Chain A
Amino acid sequence: MDNFDYRLAATTAEAQQLFSAGKGARYVAGGTNLIDLLKYNLADADMLVDINQTQPAVIKELADGGVRISALMTNAETAYHPLIEQRYPLLSKAILAGASAQIRNMATNGGNLLQRTRCYYFYDAASPCNKRNPGSGCPAITGQNRMMAILGTSEHCIAVFPSDMCVALAALEAVILISGPDGQRTVKFEDFHRLPGDHPEIDNILRPGELITAIDLPPAGFSKNYAYLKLRDRSSYAFALVSVATGFELENGIIKNARIALGGVAHKPWRVKEAEKQLIGKLVNKETLGTAADKILQGAMGFEHNTFKIELAKRAIIRNGLTALKPELQLPGAQPADISML
């Protein structure tokens, strides 16, 4: 970890000014990922521009019935905010399934979207890694790949995007508000993260100097029928091998609107809208969910140590879909719920 300058910005504009004035500047908010990366010599920074005071960390109700979450609010503040707990409990559950209490208290919402993969090879400065050092190769493809992706991989990278929060944001069709040197823009959540393709070093569409300022949640919160399930090698402080965020709008048990997003399986939260569409007008049961799962997992390809994820993801989609019928059955840590009473 090299020495760096540290500047505290008062406004977004000042932050961007500082960023563009200095070479090798990085924004820092919670720092829960960036500081680690600097310590492990996986990231460089000549200057850290602290953006924590550039705007208040608040949640606002929007005129259209949605809410706007500040990018600088911490994950914990967001998860426990009454508006989120009541109207977007899926988001709350997903956030609380991630990291540890200490990290959630530090980490911000904007930073959550920008965290890097936890691939072992990415995290080892001595290993080749196309994401860290483009063109150096991807040892994960033939190496230790239990945690790696089964969908949307490329011959250059099979890393997984590790966030839980973002799986819920994908399901909720959040919108990202971005401020940059060229002004403001909004991006649909599904367009924010990208697949590795030929450029695994690029995680998302954010341009240099741009900042996420807020996340908008549309009015549909699926607060009656939702569930988040996270399957992992221990009950807390472990990344998902497979996670599922599910939301339904039901009318007399018939699906009016469905959302299913997967985590732990790809370079971004994985959604297949066609599969969700096909559920409309159907009942929530093992068969309909199984059909949807097959559609979502179409094209899934496992590697030596992670082929199990394909079957596991299917079963997780089914279980979580059934759990969404009775969200109160959900367990802390997004452990599999006992739905035998359904």
Chain B
Amino acid sequence: MTEMNTTIGKPISRLEGFDKVTGAAKYAADHHVPDMLYGYVVNSIITKGRITKIHTDEVMALPGILEILTHENRMSTAWFDIQYADMDAPSGTVFKPLHDDRIKYNGQPIALVIAETFEQARLGAAKLRVEYKEEKQHATELKSNLERARPPKPGMAFLLKPPPPKPTGDFEKAYQEAAFRAEGEYHHSAEFHNPMELFASTVLYEGKGKLTIYSKTQGTINDQTFIANVFGLKYQNVRVIAPYVGGAFGSGLRPQHQLYLAAMAALQLKRHVRVVLDRSQMFTFGHRPQTLMQMRISADEDGKVTGLNHEGYGETSTYEDYSEILVKWAPMLYPAANTLLKYDLVPLDVATPLDMRAPGGSTAFHAIECTMDQLAYQLNIDPLELRIKNYSEVDPLENKPFTSKELKACYLQGAEKFGWLDRKPEPRSMRRGNKLVGYGMATGMWDAMQLPARVEARVTPDGKLHIKSAITDIGTGTFTIMTQIAAEQFGMAMEDVIFDYGNSALPFAPIQGGSFSTSTVGIAVVNASKALKKKLLKLAIKASDQFKSADVGTVSFIKGNIVYGDHSLSFVELVAANGAKPILTRNMGYPHALKLRKYAMAAHSAAFVEVEVDEELGFIKVTRALTAVAAGRIMNPKTARSQILGGMVWGISKALHEETLLDPAMGKYMNQNLAEYHLPVHADIHELEVLFVEEEDKIINELGTKGVGEIGLVAITPAIVNAIYHATGKRINDLPVHFDKLL
């Protein structure tokens, strides 16, 4: 069967771009219906203790207030903890808003004020007096509570986030005897999710036990099953719709409490209800955990790594064990005979942390690649040369080949394009005016994953192809890319392909995260397309004698026609031949687990960064950054480039700006707004370049894709820190690097 390669690999603009920039795209809080009620969340202002009294009567007397949901008057919800477990739930007991009088963290939702207007609800929430019995003994800071550290509890989460590999060799001995050693301690404060779109749910009450929900989410079916399970509704009576998501980055992998509360209010009051979290309330749920890491690397005379020791402590809550893959990366990248890896959790009085773009990886590579940089200086060799010396074609950890690994090409092409060779090796040796100039580089890695998904492919009487999946598009380009894949499968124009998505009523898709959506849904699109082609061929054979001897190997699909030699039938004719009934098929896509078990799978990157540092004032500017990426086949260079650029900007943010300021005495974060939670502004972002190196992967999946959602972030932060060291001779391992630390 021949296919025209018409769309995959082309830099096609987002299909919904126009709707998004003109405001036509409706997000979760943009769906208006008559007689809708508004809920506003009230948050705990203590960190630990109990609620003793909520003065609801005072607020109920205010105009427009209809109800105040609290632990005292909420409807009953599911009995068993397991019924609250969403697709991304770690082991432990899921937090249930308004469950009882206990306060587990500062900012915990404790009531929902429901009113006729948003303003009335907000005022009511502000006026609600709550009395507490406060426990002053609480712990919210990782660094000062390390004595609580313990390994993560086993559970379902271990499937996707296994515990660290066992030690190999004898690290301590190897380290002591090594010719060269480097070590560092690395600290990350919490980072909070602040996508542009706030968390919002508009819940339409459609009669007894039936809800239609517009929600901000990364998983329509995840939210649907969660709500159905928690409130005892039939799955088919809960529909979650989320075609447009204004950024999510992991924050929508779990149903957030606005959804829970809005659904509860709708069911309890039998009314349509909307709940939107305000910006400061974005700091009241999951976040990238505070993390402390110790990294030691030893090398022999030739610069070959002999020992790797990576130990990490991550913050979690008192009720769930959120874990990350933090310490497996170094031995997966650099072969070493002696490895010692450890990962512990420190339970604190905080909300359970939550996946945030490249969870674990973006934290881990800071430690790995900054310690490697230090080692390069000890060895007195170029940091890039050290990487090449320790390059491994296989995954040394499990001694498996990679399905593909073009990291060396990332190093070499990236270095060439960046002009890495112009770098003078000595720190503080490059200058521009009164600025010190530094070059830094680092490696990045991210698992290439694929999960099962189901897709429907359907040809309608007008000859158009409809592809359906419950998957969201969180701004990644999924809508466009799935349309491209289907269009290519059928040699059709993209305008003739309609991708229907972002709706839990559509065929199953998992949560959208981990850079696995393109592979996961893409392969299901391919499989459904193949099955549909067979059906179309069958119909063609039935409809026309000229197709009698045709088979899947001899027909082709071109612009909405099935073509066999000189003969062709249009899809319109085929549907007509089908008695005007749409031709459809539903098929699964899943990874070839048996085959893939023999391989390691990862996307790789190399980042190169130039910084200027004002020597007297410490002022740091990332003047240039380049990321070379090997992530298999790039489906759409335009949306993929956007993904990498976004990751790079985030990397700059992590390295230099983003910081949540914890007050451990109060147990709360103090800069809960975008004026003081500093994300970079345009003036902080200068020349950014993305280079996709050729990487053909015939093993990983039929499309040869690995995903690009995470990989752009991983390497950039350590590259910046290394560049700052090269510029100034100062190594700052506490992120963000405040410029005053360079004074």
Contact B619 A231 (CB under 8 A): yes
A339–B657 CA distance with the chains assembled, in angstroms: 26
Contact B678 A238 (CB under 8 A): yes
Contact B682 A236 (CB under 8 A): yes
A233–B435 CA distance with the chains assembled, in angstroms: 18
A127 contacts chain B at the CB level, 8 A cutoff: yes
A124 contacts chain B at the CB level, 8 A cutoff: yes
Interface set, chain B 591-650, CB cutoff 8 A to A: 614, 616-619
Contact A144 B675 (CB under 8 A): no
Interface set, chain A 175-202, CB cutoff 8 A to B: none
A63 contacts chain B at the CB level, 8 A cutoff: no
Q: Distance in Å from the Cβ of B235 to the closest Cβ of chain A? A: 40
Contact B433 A124 (CB under 8 A): no
Q: Distance in Å from the Cβ of A290 to the closest Cβ of chain B? A: 12
Contact A315 B617 (CB under 8 A): yes
Residue of B nearest to A311 (CB): B743
A151–B739 CA distance with the chains assembled, in angstroms: 21
A340–B126 CA distance with the chains assembled, in angstroms: 54
A123 contacts chain B at the CB level, 8 A cutoff: yes
A146 contacts chain B at the CB level, 8 A cutoff: yes
B24 contacts chain A at the CB level, 8 A cutoff: no
Contact A339 B676 (CB under 8 A): no
Q: Within 8 Å CB of B661, what residues of A?
A: 120, 144, 146
Residue of B nearest to A241 (CB): B740
Residue in contact with B676 in the complex, picked from A118, A126, A319, A341, CB distance below 8 Å: A118
A1–B661 CA distance with the chains assembled, in angstroms: 26
Which one, B162-170, B236-244, B666-674, is touching chain A? B666-674
With A41-B126, A120-B676 as given contacts, are A231 and B617 in contact (CB-CB < 8 Å)? yes
Interface size on A, residues (CB 8 A): 40
With A120-B661, A312-B617, A319-B617 as given contacts, are A236 and B683 in contact (CB-CB < 8 Å)? yes
Interface set, chain A 310-334, CB cutoff 8 A to B: 311-312, 315-316, 318-319, 332-333
Over the window 279-321 of chain A, the binary record of Cβ atoms lying under 8 Å from chain B Cβ atoms (1 yes, 0 no) is 0000000000000000000000000000011011001101100
Contact A339 B743 (CB under 8 A): no
A311–B740 CA distance with the chains assembled, in angstroms: 9
Contact A121 B678 (CB under 8 A): no
Over the window 656-697 of chain B, the binary record of Cβ atoms lying under 8 Å from chain A Cβ atoms (1 yes, 0 no) is 110001110110101111011011111110000000000000
Residue in contact with A312 in the complex, picked from B434, B656, B668, B740, CB distance below 8 Å: B740
A316–B619 CA distance with the chains assembled, in angstroms: 11
B531 contacts chain A at the CB level, 8 A cutoff: no
Residue of B nearest to A329 (CB): B433
A182–B683 CA distance with the chains assembled, in angstroms: 47
Q: Within 8 Å CB of A312, what residues of B?
A: 617-618, 740, 743
Q: Within 8 Å CB of B666, what residues of A?
A: 127, 139, 143
B182 contacts chain A at the CB level, 8 A cutoff: no
Over the window 474-503 of chain B, the binary record of Cβ atoms lying under 8 Å from chain A Cβ atoms (1 yes, 0 no) is 000000000000000000000000000000
With A1-B123, A233-B678 as given contacts, are A120 and B683 in contact (CB-CB < 8 Å)? no
B426 contacts chain A at the CB level, 8 A cutoff: no
Q: Within 8 Å CB of A238, what residues of B?
A: 675, 678
A20 contacts chain B at the CB level, 8 A cutoff: no
B551 contacts chain A at the CB level, 8 A cutoff: no
Residue of A nearest to B612 (CB): A338
A338–B433 CA distance with the chains assembled, in angstroms: 6
Contact B616 A319 (CB under 8 A): yes
Residue in contact with B678 in the complex, picked from A2, A127, A234, A308, CB distance below 8 Å: A234
Contact A233 B657 (CB under 8 A): yes
Q: Within 8 Å CB of B102, what residues of A?
A: none
Residue of A nearest to B125 (CB): A41
Contact A234 B740 (CB under 8 A): no
Over the window 117-155 of chain A, the binary record of Cβ atoms lying under 8 Å from chain B Cβ atoms (1 yes, 0 no) is 010110110110000000000010011101000000000
Residue of B nearest to A307 (CB): B740
Interface set, chain A 232-250, CB cutoff 8 A to B: 233-238, 241
| Residue of A234, A309, A332, A335 most packed against chain B (CB within 10 A) | A234
Residue of B nearest to A127 (CB): B666
Residue of B nearest to A318 (CB): B616
B738 contacts chain A at the CB level, 8 A cutoff: yes
Residue of A nearest to B432 (CB): A338
Contact B670 A316 (CB under 8 A): no
A selection of 26 A-B contacts at a CB cut-off of 8 Å is A1-B123, A2-B123, A3-B119, A118-B676, A120-B661, A121-B670, A126-B668, A127-B666, A139-B665, A143-B666, A144-B663, A146-B738, A235-B684, A241-B740, A312-B617, A312-B743, A315-B616, A315-B743, A316-B617, A319-B617, A333-B683, A336-B616, A336-B617, A338-B433, A340-B433, A340-B434
Apart from A3-B119, A236-B682, A336-B616, list 9 A-B contacts with CB within 8 A. A1-B122, A121-B670, A231-B739, A233-B678, A311-B743, A312-B740, A335-B619, A338-B435, A340-B434
CB-CB nearest 7 A-B residue pairs: A235-B683, A126-B45, A120-B670, A308-B740, A338-B433, A340-B434, A144-B661
